[in-house]
Each structure stands twice: as structure tokens, then as C-alpha cells.
Amino acid sequence: MKLLVTGGAGFIGSNFILYWLKKYPQDYIINLDLLTYAGNLENLKSVEANPNYQFVRGDICDRGIVETLVEENPDVIVHFAAESHVDRSIKDSGVFVKTNVLGTQVLLETARKKNIRFHHISTDEVFGSLEINDGKKFEETTPYDPRSPYSSSKASSDHLVRAYFHTYGLPITITNCSNNYGPYQFPEKLIPFFIANLMDDKKVPLYGKGLNVRDWLYVEDHAKAIDAVIQKGRIGETYCVGGDSEKANIEIAKLLLKEFNKDESYIEYVEDRKGHDLRYAINANKIKNELGWKPEVTFEEGMKLTIDWYKKNESWWRKLTKLS
């Protein structure tokens, strides 16, 4: 199979490429990535000389580049490229609309001309926010209610992807996944940011009272879910993906403090994020029952793997903390 991956130099995209080339060494991957602050070719060092891997630096909004790559007849476009950090979207939403909405439209329009299978990577944030103790979870039929510029731009892209299925019959699938963590995550995101701070004996800043709850999935399990949907997913369908692992931010902070032998004086409570969604939770029964996927790494195992990775790869993240 030939894959055109967008955003493959970012956190999840690079983990996906490493996973895919290990599992399917006969497959060919073209990685189109603009290398924004979040893109890092160091993540892909182990495959850069692989004859079945090609990196192309370019913008998904650039129709010319996208058309040239689609001329290479990929069997599937796996679309990760996005601006992905909520806090940045609150400061400046423009580039979020450009990349996440217009970029997705350019890819869809180009894919349509050759009827190329299109898998879109999205987020659970499009569904809005749940109450802390209401027992509800997001699922495929949950109405969209995005509340940050980031989640609104991702919601727009999901709608466009579905519109290309209904209007043009483009063979699409979508995954809406909860928060990922693991190796190669840019140290502006909660878990690597806290690890980096604690390794430098600095406090961890916690929004509000730290009560916001997220579901967490180890990144390789996300790659496996995308694999399952690409191989076996029903065309036109959306699959919610989650780790069955809801944690309040304060629980994560406390777990990390324990790992680094620090007391709670290392928590610094800071002013809450504007419009901060309270709780996200995912019901992943559809992908579990239909495609046989389930998370394989528990939160405790995943956190150990992640902490070890950041300890062993200090040179990787130290350069990036200057950019965040």
C-alpha cells in the first residue's frame, strides 16, 4: 500500500509512521509536512534512509504540491496535519482556520479528482464539554458543540470531510480521539511540559483548581486504531477512540510529582484557561465491537514509558522548550 501522510513530522503523525513502517515494511509512505514549530524530522531519523519513506516539505494549503503528490497515486491519504494547541488558538485563531479548515479542503478537493481513500484524524474536543459527574461520554452520534477556536476548526474540517462523502462519494473515514501522550510530544502539551519542568526542578502550572478531566490514550494505541480503521473501517463512518482512562489534571500532576519525588508545593495554581472545557470522555464501543480494537497500554504503563522516554531523550525536548 502507498500512503500519503500529512503532518507526519508532528507528535502523532511521526509515531504513526514509525509504527506503520515497522508493521508493514513493504508499504511506501510519503510524508508531507510544513515543519512548523511542531514538526520535527528528528522524530523520523530511524526511517529517513528507508527507501520506502519519502519526506516532502510543504503546506497542505498549497494546491500545487498536494496535486503533485496525489499524482503519485497513493492508496490512502492519512491526514494528521493541523495546528493542534488550544492555548495557541486562543491567542491567534487565524492559522488554525487556514491549516485545519482550508488545508483540509485543499486535500479533499485534490483527493476527489482521483477518488482517493481519505482518513481524517480528529479530536473528541469537537463534542464540547461534559459535566464532571454526569456519567455521560462522547460517542459517534453526540452533537457537535466545539467551544475553542482549535476545536471549532477541527469540527469544520470534520464537516467538510463528511460533506465530501455525501456530496461526491469520496471514500472517507474519521477518527475522533481523546488526548494522546507518549514519546515525541512537543513540550508545550500538559504531560511533557510537566515532565520537563520537574526535570528542571521547576513548578508545574495547573489551570484553575486542576479539576478538568480528560481521557488519555497512549499514542501507539492511537496509531493502532487508525490502522484498524484504514484496513477495516466502514466507508463514510466515524469512530470514537479513547483510552478508558479519565484523569483530572491534578491527578496527573500528583502522579508526576510522585515519580520525581517532589511534594505538592511544586504545584502552582494559575488563572484558568478561557472557556476551559470541564470534562471529555469517550465511549469507544463502536471501534471495539466492529473492528476489534482496544487500548493495550494502561495509563500507568504508558506514563512509565513516557517518563522514561523524556528522561532518556533530554536533548530532543530541551531544544524545543525554547520554542514553546
- Taking the complex as a whole, the smallest distance from the CB of residue 221 to ligand NAD amounts, in Å, to 12
DSSP state of 144: P
**Three-class SS of residue 227?**
helix
Nearest approach, Cβ of residue 29 and ligand NAD (Å): 14
Q: Which of 83, 124, 220, 244 is catalytic?
A: 124
Work out the angle at residue 262's Cα, subtended by the Cα atoms of residues 258 and 265, and round it to the nearest 5 degrees. Answer: 120
**Is residue 124 annotated as part of the catalytic site, yes or no?**
yes
Rounded-to-integer distance, Cα 36 and Cα 272, Å: 27
Of residues 11 and 165, the one with the C-beta less far from ligand NAD? 11
The catalytically annotated residue of 125, 158, 188, 244 is 125
Task: Please indicate whether residue 158 is annotated as part of the active site.
Answer: no
- The CB density around residue 134, as the number of other CB atoms within 10 Å, is 9
28, 53, 150, 218: which one is catalytic? 150
Min dist. Cβ of residue 241 to ligand NAD (A): 8
CA angle 101-68-16, nearest 5°? 60
Run of H or E residues at 6:
strand 2-6
Judged by CB, which is closer to ligand NAD: 53, or 80?
Answer: 80
The cell for 80 is 494528521
125 in active site: yes
* Sites of contact with ligand NAD (CB under 6 A): 6-7, 9-13, 33-36, 38-39, 59-61, 80-84, 99, 103, 121-123, 154, 177, 179-180, 186
Distance CA 22, CA 18 (A): 6
Q: Residue 57, SS3?
A: strand
Q: How far is the CB of 265 from ligand NAD (least distance, A)?
A: 29
Cell 516539505 locates to 57
* Comparison of 248 and 262: residue with beta carbon closer to ligand NAD: 248
Nearer to ligand NAD by C-beta: 258 or 319? Answer: 319
Active site residues: 124-125, 150
